[in-house]
């Protein structure tokens, strides 16, 4: 009679341990990737704020709103939508209108040598993106309608930076990194991606859904 061979209990235990280690490594690796993305996106918010102040300090004007941009940076395009030189960055943060100040903000700071990236307006490579490919942008809080919180819960500040296409787990991490960790209070708020409305509490920000994160300053 032929004897059937198989795995011993020790061999099975070793295999299970190896599988556990592999799964643990994959999960840890994914956690590190998510953490790096959240930090990158948080830096986008900080750096955009720095770009605005650096340009203002250098030229005594706001990028995008600069009425004398042609004299300040070579090939700078003057915004023809809105009112130039009124200390506001008009137009929506995600505008694709090449005549608007919020769109031209990026050309002005790049031509001034403050940021890298394409200066060719109308080119897809011109549009600033976050670590997951979502749109990044800035505008004055006056006229901001992506997050509609009002009254005592209204966002405060002069400007607002937004980043779209952010998964919930990263949106909550960004709030922890930059603000109070509560997604419907403070300077950092979260709303469903592409759907303007009131900011959402943490419980309504599922890890896998897509959101827009905005920070006022």
Taking alpha carbons only, the member of 65, 87, 89 closest to residue 76 is 65
Domain limits of the chain? 38-216
Predicted TM-score (pTM) of this structure: 0.86
* Ordered per-residue pLDDT tens for the chain, 217 residues: 555 566 677 766 676 767 766 666 665 566 766 789 999 999 999 999 999 999 999 999 999 999 999 999 999 999 999 999 999 999 999 999 999 999 999 999 999 999 999 999 999 999 999 999 999 999 999 999 999 999 999 999 999 999 999 999 999 999 999 999 999 999 999 999 999 999 999 999 999 999 999 999 9
Q: Hey, which residues does 192 pair with through a beta bridge?
A: 211
For 185, counting Cβ atoms within 10 Å of its Cβ (0-12 exposed, 13-18 middle, 19+ buried), the class is: middle
């Amino acid at each position: 009679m032929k004897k059937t061979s198989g795995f011993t209990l020790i061999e099975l235990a070793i295999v299970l341990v190896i599988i556990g280690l592999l799964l643990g490594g994959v999960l840890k690796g994914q956690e590190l990737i998510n953490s790096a993305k959240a930090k990158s996106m948080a830096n986008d918010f900080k750096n955009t704020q720095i770009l605005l102040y650096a340009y203002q300090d250098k030229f005594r004007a706001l990028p995008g709103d600069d009425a004398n941009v042609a004299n300040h940076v070579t090939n700078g395009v003057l915004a023809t939508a809105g009112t130039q030189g009124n200390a506001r960055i008009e137009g929506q943060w995600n505008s694709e209108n090449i005549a608007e100040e919020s769109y031209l903000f990026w050309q002005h700071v790049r031509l001034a040598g403050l940021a890298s990236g394409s200066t060719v307006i109308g080119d897809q490579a011109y549009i600033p993106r976050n670590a997951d490919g979502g749109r990044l942008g800035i505008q004055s809080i006056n006229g901001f309608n992506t997050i509609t919180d009002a009254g005592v819960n209204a966002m405060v500040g002069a400007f607002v930076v937004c980043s779209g296409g952010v998964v919930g787990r990263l949106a909550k991490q960004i709030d922890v990194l930059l603000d109070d960790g509560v997604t419907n209070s403070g300077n950092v708020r979260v709303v469903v991606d592409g759907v303007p409305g009131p900011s959402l509490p943490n419980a309504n920000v599922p890890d896998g859904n897509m959101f827009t994160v905005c920070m006022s300053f």
